[in-house]
Structure formats: structure tokens, C-alpha cells
Amino acid sequence: MPFFTQSATFSGLWPITRRHIVEVIQNGKYSHGRKVLELERALAAYTGAAHVVGVNSGTDALVLLLRACGLRPGDEVVVPAFSFIASASSVVLAGGEPVFADIEPDGYGLDPASVAAVAGPRARFVMPVHLFHHLADLTGLAEVARGLDLTVVEDSAEAIGMRHNGAHAGLLGAGGVLSFFPTKTLGALGDAGAVITNDPVIAETVGALRHHGRFGRTIDNFPGISTGTGAVGVNSKMDDVQAAVLLAKLDRLEADIRRRAVLARRYADGLAGVPGVRKLPSVLPRRASVRGVFYVYVVEVDRRDELAAHLAGRGIGTETYYPTPLHLQPCFARLGHRPGDFPHAEAASRRTLALPLYPDLPLGDVDRVCAAIRSFYLGERA
């Protein structure tokens, strides 16, 4: 049983996918073309964002968003110590400096109290990351941000479909991002991403930066290559084939989200009360109406690495999110952090394990995973 596959999804969607790809071929522009523009408009309709700007990865989306928001060399950005490396490396790539804060004691979101404790006079941004299945405490973080005059930029790469008081993740601050890496809730066949924002200036700037700093209309515009360069940008255009795949999958996104919720409930039932399973994922109470989406199903367990090996021995794939917290990554050794600096992040890094979760997964396979976990902790035969 693989940790992730979408072969059945693509098989079922092939007629629609093929139609979109044929349109790409017929249009004759295979990057930054008409199909990307069509996807941007469809995502704007789904998320409610005033502007969606397609780029070639979720990481690039973070870098370009930070630059478009006015990050200056040396500006500090407060980020959680528990996240994927891109949440912090994007800050460096944009010219800033990450400042780490701890996560909530009972969840994986950036802890507002920790943000207030670590933010110094050079801090200009705070970047909540919406991890796994629910949003960070946007209400609490917004209050801290206002008090410290910080701009909120959301790493909402995993959060498509998640909402806070009806507003889509990524639209509660200056802007957010979406990642369409193949394992994501809405995944492409390769790398792709987007910036979402309600700010027209940010959108225009990201749109220019993704295409070598050329302002004005460049998407699906063949003469655009001769457009003057107004800023030092990068080549982060989205491929039209990826846009074609995403358009084919977007129509079934809500059905996939519902399926993921069904699978999560099956896991919760199958793992309830198992000794050694410390925590099952749940949506924490907030001071707002929130909608979570199960991107991955992450449990906290004792003897995590031994359990992963036990499952692998039974043909069950898992992933460890994330075995080393960001403040202890070798690339950030210069910041001088030591074990114990952010205890909640470090505890999560020791215990979290992601189990298979994707729309193609049969319920019987969930039962098989649960039985294998029970056999590890209880000695039952799986």
C-alpha cells in the first residue's frame, strides 16, 4: 500500500484531462499561456480571491509573495519551528531572516504567545503555516500582528478548501499561497503553485516577478517577451500542462475533500484507545467558524520510527512530518538554536507520523493500517 497514489484518479479523469491538454497543444503556448489564465480564474472563483497568480511551485509562491509585500533585505519574518523547510527557506530566498517561534501546545499552528515573545524590532512579518488538517489561530495571530505592526503572510500551501469565518485560507492577511505538488489535496503531475490575494498591487507585482520582472500583460501574450523589465524577477511561469491537469481535477475537489473526511473518520474509529497512539488529528476550537480539510492524516505516537518500520514491513507506506524542527536544521545552525528552545515543535518532530490518505484509498486499506498499528502496540495479529 503506497503512502500516496493518484493513478485511479487520473485514469477516471483522463477524458477531461485529455481535452484540456489537447487545447494546450492547439493553442501552441505551453508555458504561461491560456490554460494557466483559465486556471487562475477558476481558482479565484473557488477561493473567492480577487487575484490568483499561477507560478511554478508553492515555494516560489512564498518567495514572490514576500517580495511583493515589500520585504527588505534583513527584515525578520516570524515562522513556526515546526513546518516544511520551505516555510523558512523562502524567507531567506526573498532576502529576509527567519525568526522561529513555537507551535501551539495542542496543535501544529504558530503559537501567538510565542510570536509575541520572539518578535524583535526588525520583525516586519509573521507567517502562520496551516498544517495537515486545519488552520492556525488566525484570530490570535492577527491580534499579535496588530500590536507589533507585523504584516501577516500565510503559508497556506496545504490549505486549499480550508476557511476561516467563510474566508479562504490565504486571504486573511496580505496574501497566501497554494501548492499543487502531486500529494496535495489538489495535486498536479509535477510542480506548480499560486499566490492568492485581494490586493491588486501585490498581485501585479507577483505577476511581473514570475516572468523576469516584466509588468503588463504577459500571460498568453506572445509579444510579451519584448516587454520592458521593471524589476529583477525570476522564471517562475506555470506550465500549461500542469494547469490542464489541475483544471480537470478542480471540478471534483469538493468530492475529494469529502472522501478524505470519510477516510479520516475511519482512522479515528480504528485507532481510538490504542495505547501508544498519543494523539489523533482534530480541529482545535477557535474564536471563529473554521473549516478544516484533511490533506494528510498525522498521528502522534510512541516509538514512531519503530512503528514506521513495522508498517513498512507489512507493505504500508508512511511519511514523517517532520523529523527535524526548523530551528535545528543544519542550514540554520548560524542562528544558534539548541534543543529545548521550542519544546512543542520538538515534541511533535519526535512523534508525528503520516498514514496513507488519498481519495483512491479503499476503506479496507484504512482498516488494514489500523490493524497493523494495533498489532504493533497490542501484539494483536494483523
Q: Is 189 left (phi over 0), alpha (psi -120 to 50) or beta?
A: alpha
- H or E element, residue 53: strand 51-55
- Among candidate residues 323, 275, 291, the one with its CA nearest the CA of residue 130: 291
Quote the pLDDT of residue 348.
Answer: 97
Q: How many CA atoms are closer than 13 Å to the CA of 329, on its beta-carbon side?
A: 19
- Alpha-helical (H) ranges within the chain are 7-27, 34-47, 58-68, 86-93, 112-118, 138-148, 200-209, 240-250, 253-271, 304-312, 343-351, 363-378
Does pTM surpass 0.85?
Answer: yes
- Residue by residue, pLDDT tens for the chain (382 residues) are 999 999 999 899 999 999 999 999 999 889 999 999 999 999 999 999 999 999 999 999 999 999 999 999 999 999 999 999 999 999 999 999 999 999 999 999 999 999 999 999 999 999 999 999 999 999 999 999 999 999 999 999 999 999 999 999 999 999 999 999 999 999 999 999 999 999 999 999 999 999 999 888 888 876 566 777 889 999 999 999 999 999 999 999 999 999 999 999 999 999 999 999 999 999 888 888 999 999 999 999 999 999 999 999 999 999 999 999 999 999 999 999 999 999 999 999 999 999 999 999 999 999 999 999 999 999 866 5
- Among candidate residues 126, 192, 199, 138, the one with its CA nearest the CA of residue 163: 138
As a whole number of angstroms, the distance between CA 192 and CA 202 comes to: 19
Q: What is the pLDDT of residues 297-320, one digit of tens each?
A: 999 999 999 999 999 999 999 999
DSSP state of 100: E
Three cell numbers written together for 81: 519551528
**How many Å is the Cα radius of gyration of the chain?**
21
Q: What is the pLDDT of residues 346-367, one digit of tens each?
A: 999 999 999 999 999 999 999 9
Residue type, 16: I
Grid cell 520585504 — which residue?
71
- Alpha-helical (H) ranges within 149-199 are none
Three cell numbers written together for 140: 490570535
Residue 320: Cβ within 10 Å count? 15
